[in-house]
């Protein structure tokens, strides 16, 4: 499973990328606001750090305007994936932009039917929002499993990009079910390395090593 980092924090992206933990980046208007930077400027900088897809989201609601914005965003760098919402206008924009050879990430997916439409419109990525479904007492992982089954049934090439990942359990379940990509905030990716038994075992090793009175360096 590929790891995308869900942030516009350039320092965090660079740190994780240096460890080989970044296969791509996703941004959205909320993350751009949090960064406090111009969308074109920060997106260009991110594209210079990572070689994989960098999702940059349109902000218009009409298809023609989404297409125009998508074309402008795509000019930032070759690895831009234009992000459009899963609305009827968003699907129209997806079809046009994908036909032009641009990567397209269709976002805010909450049903298998929506995911089916996005695949038929030529989406490169479909972004089902796991955490937001969990928030309303629905099973986000069930949606990932349903999309996986449907896409495999018909050999759709659209990649399942599990979004709204909030916990390490979300990450493990996405990998188990077969999501192609997971996008998560930097702190969630870092937490994947944590386990209380690892901490306890290391503490015991260090305590015993100190008793030996030895040094390696």
Residue 144 tokens read as 């990932």
Q: What does residue 185 show for φ and ψ, rounded to 5 degrees?
A: -60, 155
- Residue 163: which residues within 8 A CB-CB, separation 6 or more? 6, 26, 107, 127, 128, 129, 130, 183
Cite the active site residues. Answer: 83
User: Are the beta carbons of 115 and 149 closer than 8 angstroms?
Assistant: no
DSSP H or E stretch at residue 88: helix 88-99
Q: How far apart are CA 172 and CA 145, in angstroms?
A: 13
Output b/e per residue, 171-197; b: 16+ Cβ within 10 A.
Answer: bebbeebebbbbbbbbebbbeeeeeee
DSSP element (H, E) containing 26: strand 24-26
On whether the CB atoms of residues 143 and 130 are closer than 8 A, the answer is yes
The first and second tokens of residue 154, run together, are 């018909």
């Amino acid at each position: 499973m590929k790891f995308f980092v869900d942030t516009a924090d350039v320092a965090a992206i660079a740190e994780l990328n240096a460890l080989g933990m970044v296969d791509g980046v996703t941004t959205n208007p909320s993350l751009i606001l949090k960064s406090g930077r111009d969308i074109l400027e920060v997106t260009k900088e991110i594209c210079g750090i990572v070689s994989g897809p960098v999702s940059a989201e349109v902000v218009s609601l009409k298809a023609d305007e989404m297409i125009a914005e998508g074309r402008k965003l795509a000019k930032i760098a070759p690895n831009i994936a234009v992000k459009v919402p899963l609305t009827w206008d968003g699907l129209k924009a997806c079809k046009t932009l994908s036909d032009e050879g641009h990567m397209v990430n269709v976002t805010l997916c909450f049903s298998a039917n929506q995911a089916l439409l996005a695949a038929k419109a030529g989406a490169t990525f479909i972004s089902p929002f796991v955490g937001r479904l969990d928030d309303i007492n629905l099973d986000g992982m069930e949606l990932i499993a349903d999309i996986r089954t449907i896409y495999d049934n018909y050999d759709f090439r659209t990649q399942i990009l599990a979004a709204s990942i909030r916990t390490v359990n979300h990450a493990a379940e996405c990998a188990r079910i077969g999501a192609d990509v997971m996008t998560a905030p930097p702190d969630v990716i870092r937490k994947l390395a944590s386990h209380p038994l690892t901490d306890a075992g290391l503490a015991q090793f260090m305590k015993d090593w100190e008793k030996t009175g030895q040094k390696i360096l």
